[in-house]
């Protein structure tokens, strides 16, 4: 399999790794491999880095099988064998739980349980880092979703330490646009099996992606959104909301 990538692609990944200190000597790094295009692409990139980086780290792919019909586990195993990357498949019954009785927020519940299954495996086997394949479009979408659905300014962090488990989540693809990943997957004729999840495409994230497609295709607008995600002294936001009783007392001073 061709594992050579244009230098403009690897440079963006190396930039993220260097800027946010994502990979260090001695790391035991697991890749959260769903079988989708993003994690598949990340697997190839990190395989290259494993062979050519000056950092010495252990690499292993971990796939959580939610238990839906038409599992992608066989295809994932074949792909990892081609790259000579060790793979652990964690079989679960997440599908049964989120589909029974029309559970609310099935996508967030599924993500929560899948992450929990991986973290549990990492803790038992001495891994200290977990790589997810989130890209730049994911980060901007999360930023917009945070504003619309929770009224907060938050986005995906390039790295995040989970103090309750001792595992650090890293996102090496955070500077790459989604269309670049799609092109690289297509160029190598890698077949990505469609998710068998009945909720695929019906999440809040999917809706944001549809609603803002035109903005994401406008390079200047997209760049402005990226700039807005950065910590900065140039923010001109409202003050923090005052405690109700204090505000009520202040309001009374304005009446006779």
User: Do strands 159-162 and 167-170 pair parallel, antiparallel, or not at all (unpaired)?
Assistant: antiparallel
CB half-sphere exposure, 227, CA atoms < 13 A: 9
CA geometry: angle at 63 spanning 133 and 144, to 5°? 35
Q: Is residue 126 part of a domain?
A: yes
Q: Is residue 46 part of a domain?
A: yes
Residues 172 and 17 sit within 8 Å (Cβ to Cβ): yes
Three-state SS for 130?
A: strand
Domain CATH for 99: 3.40.50.620
Binding site members: 32-34, 38, 64, 133, 138
pLDDT of residue 71: 76
Q: What percent of the chain has pLDDT over 90?
A: 62
The span from the CA of 96 to the CA of 66, in Å, is 9
pLDDT band at residue 109 under the 50/70/90 scheme:
confident
Residue range 5-21, pLDDT digits in tens? 999 999 999 999 999 99
The span from the CA of 227 to the CA of 79, in Å, is 37
Q: Is residue 181 part of a domain?
A: yes
Binding site members for ATP: 32-34, 38, 64, 133, 138
Query: Within its chain, how far is the Cα of 201 from the centroid?
Result: 16
Q: Is residue 1 part of a domain?
A: no
The span from the CA of 22 to the CA of 222, in Å, is 25
Q: Is residue 117 part of a domain?
A: yes
pLDDT of residue 197: 67
Residue-wise over 83-109: b if at least 16 C-beta within 10 A, else e? Answer: bebebbbeebebbebbbeeeeeebbee
Section 141-156 average pLDDT: 91
Residue range 168-226, pLDDT digits in tens? 999 999 999 999 999 999 999 998 877 666 666 667 777 888 888 888 899 999 999 99
53 or 208, greater pLDDT: 53
For the whole model, what pTM was predicted?
A: 0.88
Q: Is residue 60 part of a domain?
A: yes
SS (H, E, C) 134-173: CCHHHHHHHHHHHHHHHCCCCCCCCEEEECCCCEEEECCC
What is the domain extent for residue 22?
Answer: 7-252
Q: Is residue 48 part of a domain?
A: yes
Q: Is residue 2 part of a domain?
A: no
| Beta bridge partner(s), residue 88 | 62
Number of domains in the chain: 1
């Amino acid at each position: 399999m061709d594992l050579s990538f244009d230098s403009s692609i690897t440079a963006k990944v190396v930039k993220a790794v260097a800027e946010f200190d994502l990979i260090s000597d001695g790391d035991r790094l697991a890749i959260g491999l769903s079988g989708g295009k993003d994690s598949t692409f990340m697997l190839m990139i990190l395989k290259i880095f494993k062979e050519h980086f000056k950092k010495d780290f252990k690499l292993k792919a971990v796939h959580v099988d939610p238990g839906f019909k038409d599992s992608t586990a066989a295809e994932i195993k074949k792909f990892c064998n081609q790259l000579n990357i060790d793979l652990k498949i964690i079989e679960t019954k997440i599908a049964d739980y989120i589909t029974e009785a029309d559970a609310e927020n099935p996508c967030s519940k599924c993500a929560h349980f899948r992450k929990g299954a991986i973290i549990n495996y990492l803790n038992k086997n001495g891994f200290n880092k977990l790589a997810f394949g989130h890209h730049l479009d994911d980060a901007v979408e999360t930023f917009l979703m945070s504003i619309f659905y929770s009224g907060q300014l938050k986005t995906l962090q390039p790295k995040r330490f989970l103090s309750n488990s001792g595992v650090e989540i890293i996102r090496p693809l955070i500077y790459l646009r989604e269309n670049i990943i799609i092109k690289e997957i297509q160029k190598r004729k890698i077949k990505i099996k469609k998710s068998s999840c009945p909720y695929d495409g019906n999440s809040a994230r999917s809706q944001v992606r549809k609603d803002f497609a035109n903005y994401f295709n406008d390079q200047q607008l997209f760049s402005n959104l990226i700039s807005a995600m950065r910590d900065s002294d140039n923010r001109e936001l409202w003050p923090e909301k005052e405690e109700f009783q204090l505000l009520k007392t202040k309001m009374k001073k304005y009446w006779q």
